[in-house]
Amino acid sequence: MLYVPMFKTRQEEICVIKELNECFNDNLIPLIEVLDEFYETQYKKDELTGEYIRVQAKKQMRRVKLEPTEDDIRTLKIITEITGNKEVFIDYFRYTTKKYGTDIKIEKLVLARKLNDDFDLYKSKVFELIEHDNIIPVISIKNGFSITTGELTDMIRVIKNGNSKVAIRLTDEFIDSLGGVLQNELDVKDYVLLDIEEQVPKSKFMEYEEVDDLDLKANVIVLNSPRQVKPKNGDYPENSYTSLIDNSVKDYVVEYNFAGYGDYCGLKDTLPSTGGGNGQGAALALIYDYEENAFWAYTNKNVEEGMRGYKKLIPKILADRDKFDPDKTCSGFNKIADIKNGGNWGTWLNICARRYLWQVSENLN
């Protein structure tokens, strides 16, 4: 079975990819949703001397950064480096405010916002992926970003003529209209990524059957976002398995003999937001248990303590290490043991994802 962990190009997720890239192999291929470009930083120089221009910044003299240009883009180079040159799906991300709301930090999604409004630019970015042997280009089709059968056929042919595999990521409403293209244009090296988003896996049996009836040559992967956006940290139990995250999608993958499944490694499908909050909120730690296919939740319900609440959770989590990590090899638990001062919200998103990825990589057949 193939597992596809999905990540966005946010700091903590990039760290997880880089630090656990040894997990990636033929049975575990990451999918990276590119929100914005990575740039090589350039600094202003004196035209006569060629020396860097420096300005006073607090107690230090610092170089002056230049605004990045297209020549400074290093996105695919950096992704190749952090994945250890392993095979990776690349999805140039597009979004609608209908799904993700308006509380979005636009400066973190400059490229995605451009792609929302410019299909020709989107195509050109996807076609750039053909030049990289380790990258599987993803054509993403979802609510707000539909495509005609002719456009999809043309894109697939351009990619495959470049000697590249291709992955078609689509939500279930496009199965009927685009099924013929998937049948005619894809072969055994290609992928169909059926994205059921936050929908409950057991409710999608008609869609599974619809895809199964297409008798596709391509590998069918079911993508899911089992940790829904709506529940808050404080809604999770204090110290037990939680029913708020439904990881059952892999059961249906087995039932329908699909090639594999993918998810966000215990993270929510959200975008960088402008809301910094007031520092309050329930501290939540989620520890995935592959054997139970469920998350154990540790929650400090005192929202006034905010991130400080993690200091109270850490001893409880480490006391359970023999249950969840008896061999003392889990990357997630190792990070917990090394935390100073409890960490912050990002620290625990990192831990959640790295624990999940480590568990799947250790157990996947």
DSSP string, 190-204: -EEEEE-TTS-GGGG
Q: How far is CA 235 from CA 67, 76, 168, 284, 304, in A?
A: 43, 39, 35, 10, 15
| 245 secondary structure, DSSP code | B
Q: What's the pLDDT at 240?
A: 97
Q: How far is CA 332 from CA 215, 267, 285, 362, in A?
A: 40, 14, 11, 13
Nearest in space to 145 (alpha carbons), one of 181, 121, 110: 121
pLDDT per position as a tens digit, 179-212? 999 999 999 999 999 999 999 999 999 999 999 9
* Token pair in block for residue 308: 């400080």
Q: How far is CA 129 from CA 10, 33, 65, 77, 102, in A?
A: 20, 13, 29, 11, 30
DSSP string, 246-283: --THHHHHHHTT-SEEEE-TT-------S----S-S-E
Instruction: Tell me which residue has tokens 């539909």.
Output: 146
Judge contact between 285 and 297, C-beta under 8 A.
yes
Q: What's the pLDDT at 331?
A: 94
For residue 3, count other CB atoms closer than 10 A to its CB.
22
Q: What's the pLDDT at 276?
A: 62
The residue type of 227 is R
pLDDT per position as a tens digit, 64-89? 888 888 888 999 999 999 999 999 99
| 52 secondary structure, DSSP code | B
Q: Write phi, then psi, for 307 (nearest 5 degrees).
A: -65, -25
Nearest in space to 87 (alpha carbons), one of 21, 37, 145: 21
Domains along the sequence of the chain with CATH = 2-38+73-268 (3.20.20.70), 40-71 (no CATH)
Sort 150 into a burial class: Cβ within 10 Å, 0-12 / 13-18 / 19+.
Answer: exposed
Q: What's the pLDDT at 96?
A: 96
pLDDT per position as a tens digit, 263-302? 999 999 999 988 666 778 999 999 999 999 999 999 999 9
Q: Write phi, then psi, for 14 (nearest 5 degrees).
A: -60, -40
Helix, strand, coil content of the chain in percent (nearest 5): 40, 20, 40
State which residues of the chain have pLDDT below 50.
none
Q: What's the pLDDT at 143?
A: 96
Q: What's the pLDDT at 277?
A: 65
CA distance 1 to 4: 10
Sort 206 into a burial class: Cβ within 10 Å, 0-12 / 13-18 / 19+.
Answer: exposed
Secondary structure class of 20 (helix, strand, coil): coil
Rg (CA), the chain: 22
CA distance 33 to 68: 21
Q: What's the pLDDT at 350?
A: 97
Q: What's the pLDDT at 2?
A: 97
Q: What's the pLDDT at 365?
A: 65
Judge contact between 263 and 223, C-beta under 8 A.
yes
- In this prediction the pTM is 0.93
